Structure 1
Amino acid sequence: MKITAIHLYAAHFPLHTPFIVSYHTYDYMPSIIVKVETDEGITGYGETVADEHVTGETWEGAFYTLKNTLAPAVLGKNPLEIEKIHDIMNKAVYGAPAAKAAIDIACFDILGKKLKQPVYQLIGGRYHDEFPITHVLSIAEPDYMAEEAATMVDQGYRSFKMKVGNDVRKDVERIKAVRARVGEGIAIRVDVNQGWTNSATTLTALRALREVNLDWLEQPVLADDINGMAFIRSKTDIPLMVDEGLKGPREMREVIEKQAADKVNIKLMKCGGIYPAVKLAHQAEMAGLECQVGSMVESSIGSAAGFHVAFSKKVITSVELTGPLKFSKDVGNLHYDVPFIRLTEQPGLGVDVDEKTLAELTVFEAAIR
């Protein structure tokens, strides 16, 4: 089998409401959908959601990296040879994990369709039957976040990921307000997205949150401050999760060596796709670290890819892939049984792509043949 053409669609996915994190407010999500065609008539879809604050790639930059470098490099190659595809991409350009993830995901979609198996069966087999879905609360006023949480509890959600990080005192108010509103039986995970910057500020917040009963605290300090994460972990019994600080095996090794986290957040956009994500999960398992597969707010395509990784690994104990639930329009039909996700047995990613909607959301495109 050979790759005969690669189509790139730079798209804007409309959100029901703005998505607010510590470093940015998104009125829509910029994504790049990749369509890979083969000489056997099998087509695979991939996706990249680049983030200059996390992966070091812009939306436009990822598009042109794909158009000018990665797509030409893999054109004519066998998409089933995943290890070789990654070697070719790594030799073509250093870094650029989100751009590489799009090619990786499309190749796995092709592989699954070729073998008539869902992707999770190709990377270890299905382990989990279902995952509970965590509702993400964007940064807002404490009362608003608390009210939204209460509404989602009524809809069946049992866990929340709270986005904070723009004002530590206000963040403490936000967290306490949500806990008071939903009670003790609901899981609360707090994601700072580096917003508290350093260990001193983080420890100040944790002292104020001692009685709140958090599931875990995610990435309170700057991404490269693994020492800061390790210091915080030595001073608190609240579990710590590393996110932006973990991209690939080098960072994973440092987190393990310095005992800097209790749990790691693996994202396909940060590490380069399905194949590298599986490697990270194995690395974490050897060190006794639990894993989560997280989201960069991808469409059904990228979200499905993350779910296939999560469903195949015992060490992955939680997921936060809720992009399709945030969009007012999506290009795929990934189905959620809210508040759960249960994958089908359809081959490949198991996602049907609506080409008409894709064309509607596309801002600019390119084809490499």
Structure 2
Amino acid sequence: MKIQHIEIFAIRLPLHEPFVISYATYPDMPSVIVKMTTDTGVVGYGEAVADEHVTGESREGTFAVIEHTLAPAVIGLDPAEFERLHTVMDKAIYGVPAAKAAIDIACMDAVGKSLGIPAYQLLGGRYHDSFPITHVLSIGEPQAMADEAAQMMEAGYRSFKMKVGTVPADDVKRIQAVRGRVGDDIAIRVDVNQGWKNSAATLQAMKNLEACQLDWLEQPVLADDIDGLVEVKSKSATPLMADESLRGTTQMREIIAKRAADKVNIKLMKCGGMYPAMKLAHMAEMAGIDCQVGSMVESSIGSAAGFHVAFSQKTITSVELTGPLKFSKDIGDLQYDVPFIRLNEKPGLGISIDAQVLAELTEYRSGVGSL
């Protein structure tokens, strides 16, 4: 089986509500979809959700890189030779992990379909039966965030991820408001998205949050400040998660060597796809570090890919892949059993793509190779 043709679609996924985090407000989510066709007629889908603030990629740049560099490089290759595919892509261009993730995911989908097995079987087989889903609270006024959390509790959610990262004192009020509303038995995870900038500001905030009993604090300092993570971890009892600080194996080695985090957030868009994500999980497991598979707010395609990785790896103990729940219209049909998700046993990513919705959401498209 060989990769014969790659179509690329630049789309925008409409959100129910704007998604607000420390460095941006998203009225919708820009994404790049890859449709890969093999010489045997098998079709696989992949996705790239670029983030200028995390991977240094834009949707426009990602589209161009796939069209002019990555797609021409992989045409004619066997999509099942994952190690070779990544070597070829890495030789073709440095970095651009979200663009590479789109190719990687499409290959996993196509190979799974060709063999009649779910993609998680390509990564070691299924380990977890289900995962609880965490509801993500965008940055808002303390009372509004508390009200949303209370409403989601009634829907069955037992854990919340709070987006913060503004003025630390204001964020403390947000966190205290939510904890006061949901009680002590609900899990609260706090994601600062680098917003507190440094260890000093973080440690000041954490002194006021000791009574809130957080599950963990995620990425309070700037991405490249791994030494800042070390200081926060050494001076706070709250478990610390690295997110933007972890992009690939280079950062994982430093985090392990410096014992800079208790947990790491693996995102396919940061590391280059499902195959590299599995490698990062193995590195973390050897170091005794728990993992989460996180989201860049992908459609059913990217979210399903993340779930297949998470379900296959013992050291991945939580997931935050809620993109499809936030969209008013999606191109795929990934199914949630809120507040849980249980993957099906369909081949590949296990989802169907609505060609009509894909066409409706497409702003521009291109193709490489022959059909």
TM-score for both structures, normalised by structure 2? 0.99
Q: Any idea what SS the aligned residue of 1:211 has? A: helix
> Paired residue for 1:299?
299
Partner of 1:45: helix, strand, or coil?
strand
Q: Secondary structure of 2:310's match? A: helix
- Per-residue Cα deviation, 1:90-148 (whole angstroms, up to 9, x for no partner): 00000000000000000000110111000111111111000000000000000000000
5+ residue gaps, structure 2: none
Is 1:209 matched up with 2:190?
no
Distance 2:167 2:19 in 1: 17
SS in 1 for 2:329: coil
Deviation at 1:80, TM superposition (A): 1.2
> Which whole-Å deviations, capped at 9, do the CAs of 1:305-363 have from their partners, x for residues lacking one?
00000000110000000000000000000000000000000000001000100000001
What is the aligned partner in structure 2 of residue 68 from structure 1?
A: 68
Counterpart residue number, 1:127: 127
- Counterpart residue number, 2:336: 336
Tell me which amino acid in the other structure corresponds to 1:94: Y
- Determine the structure 2 residue equivalent to 1:254: 254
Question: Which residue of 2 is the match for residue 43 of structure 1?
Answer: 43
Query: Shift of residue 19 of structure 1?
Result: 0.1
2:105 aligns to what? 105
Match of residue 139 from structure 1: 139
- Structure 1 residue runs of 4+, over 2 Å off? none
Pair 1:288-2:288 in alignment: yes
The match for 2:170 is 170
Partner of 1:265: 265
- Tell me the distance in 2 between the aligned counterparts of 1:311 and 1:85: 23
- Report the CA distance between 1:81 and its aligned residue: 1.0
1:10 equivalent in structure 2: 10
Instruction: Give the counterpart letter for 1:185 in structure 2.
Output: D
For the pair 1:197 / 2:230, whether they are aligned, the reply is no
Equivalents in 2 of 1:284, 1:82: separation in Å? 21
Deviation at 1:166, TM superposition (A): 1.3
Q: Give the letter for the 1:264 counterpart.
A: V
Q: Deviations over 1:50-95 (max 9, x none)?
A: 0010011011010100011000111111111111111110000000
| One-letter amino acid of the counterpart of residue 239, structure 2 | P
1:115 partnered with 2:120 = no
SS class of match (1:72): helix
Partner-residue secondary structure (3-state), 2:210: coil
Distance 1:267 1:328 in 2: 23
Aligned partner letter, 2:365: E
Q: Which residue of 2 aligns with 1:279?
A: 279
Residue identity in the other structure for 1:10: A
| Pairing 1:316-327 to 2, within 5 Å after superposition | 316-327=316-327
TM-score normalised over the length of structure 1: 1.00
- The answer for the alignment partner of 2:185 in structure 1 is 185
Counterpart residue identity of residue 203, structure 1: L
Q: Which amino acid aligns with 2:29?
A: M
* Partner amino acid, structure 2, of 1:97: P
Between 1:335-344 and 1:73-82, the stretch displaced more is 73-82
Q: Which secondary structure does the structure 2 equivalent of 1:280 belong to? A: helix
CA positional deviation for 1:4: 1.1
Partner in structure 1 of residue 240 of structure 2: 240
1:222 corresponding residue in structure 2:
222
Deviation at 1:201, TM superposition (A): 0.2
TM-superposed deviation, 1:46: 0.2
Tell me, in whole angstroms, the C-alpha distance in 2 between the residues paired with 1:225 and 1:214. 22
d(CA) in 2 for partners of 1:215, 1:130:
20
Rounded to whole Å, the distance in 2 between the matches of 1:119 and 1:4 is 21
Matched, 1:91 2:95: no
1:363 corresponds to? 363
Identity of aligned residues (%): 67
